[in-house]
Amino acid sequence: MPTLSVRIERFPIAGAFTIARGSKTEAVVVVAELADGATTGRGECVPYARYDETVDGVAALIASVASEVAAGLDRADLQERLPPGAARNALDCAFWDFEAKRTGRRAFELAGLPAPAPVTTAYTISLGTAQAMAEAARVAGRPLLKLKLGKEGDAERLAAIRAAVPECELIIDANEGWTAANLEANLAACASAGVTLVEQPLPATDDGLLERIIRPVPVCADESAHGLESLSHLAGRYDAINIKLDKTGGLTEALALAEAARAAGLDIMVGCMVATSLAMAPALLLAGAARYVDLDGPLLLARDREPALHYEGSLVYPPKPELWG
């Protein structure tokens, strides 16, 4: 049986990453590692304060099952042993990586999926002034941008950005920052700007309003969507679901959630936290079923881990086995 170890790693962000809830300059990740002397499997997660997670708490939760892993706890057992969240994600992905390396089969084969292909990822523009965001969008030169909004003046920000990048596909992420008072006006501004998708406009606790209005732009659940148990609450409110492994608690549940979401008629976005290529790699197994891909975490860092995913502009290639899976 493998032994389990856990460590905390820090990666500087290029500049700052700013959303409606705040700003940060560093990505702090937790890595779970399974090793038996011949094979090593790794998984990475990002604890998220929005869900009352802390770095030390997540690392401790992973470490708390080390003796059970040594005694035979496996990936199937893990789904019941730990709750959905960052800790289970890191360990779940480490199990996938360990099994792939131990058997000499790629993780997509173990999951019964076709080989992943290169995909275009969105590139995130942090929340700022209208002028700063417009200039950042112009300089980025990307075909698909994800704009962080959620403060007063969003319509002006959007107009300035659209003028700067008239041909670019735009996704909006309000991070729960809009309200009942400005929702319809902001959605109308998005429709006028030709926005493709609006992500989590309202707080998860107040999103029932989305059932009672005409949505001129498709709306995607993020903070309102976690694992399979959250799917029943999304009907009538959302047109798509953002699946993040740190919310589902790993690739295992994310694959099940993607299948259930498609059956429910929801489009899929595969998303990420600001993290390294090790966190993006397992999420790429979901990209083939996704209408929207947002796996730009490493592009926002001042440095990535090695080996890393290969990016050509906004095109991200599947991981090599040395990285994961």
Number of domains in the chain: 2
| Closest C-alpha among 125, 145, 110 to residue 282 | 110
- Do residues 200 and 137 both lie within one domain? yes
Domain membership of residue 302 (yes or no) is: yes
What is the average per-residue pLDDT within 124-147? 97
Q: What's the gap between Cα 308 and its chain centre? A: 17
For helices 55-63 and 86-103, give the axis angle rounded to 10 degrees.
50
Collect all residues with Cβ–Cβ distance below 8 Å to 314 and sequence separation of at least 6: 120, 121, 122, 123, 142, 143, 144, 296
My answer on whether 94 and 157 are in the same domain is: no
User: In the predicted model, is pLDDT for residue 21 greater than 90?
Assistant: no
* Helices and strands of the chain, counted as H and E runs: 11, 14
- CB neighbours of residue 208 within 10 Å: 11
3-class SS string, 213-234: CCCCCCEEECCCCCCHHHHHHC
Co-location of 80 and 124 in the same domain: no
- Stated pTM of the model: 0.95
Q: Annotated catalytic, 146?
A: no
Residue 250, pLDDT > 80, answer yes
Cα dihedral 175, 180, 186, 191 sign: positive
pLDDT in tens, 36-73: 999 999 999 999 988 999 999 999 999 999 999 999 99
163: Cα separation from own chain's centroid: 28
- Other C-beta atoms closer than 10 Å to the C-beta of 263 total 9
In a domain, 322, yes or no: no
| Token pair listed for 93 | 């992905």
Q: Domain check: are 128 and 73 in the same one?
A: no
Same domain, 27 and 61: yes
CB 270 within 8 A of CB 247: no
**Burial annotation 160-196 (CB, 10 A radius, 16+ → b, else e):** bbbebbeebbbbbbbbbbbeeebbeebbebbeebebb
Residue in 24, 101, 151, 244 annotated catalytic: 244
Residues 309 and 189 grouped into a single domain: yes
Looking at the domain assignment, is residue 112 inside a domain? no
> What residues make up the domain containing 249?
119-316
Residue tagged active-site, from 148, 151, 247, 320: 148
Mean pLDDT for all residues in the chain: 96
Q: What percent of the chain has pLDDT over 90?
A: 93
Is residue 271 a part of any domain in this protein? Answer: yes
Give catalytic status of residue 244 as yes or no: yes
Residues with Cβ within 8 Å of 15's Cβ and at least 6 positions away in sequence, in order, are 25, 126
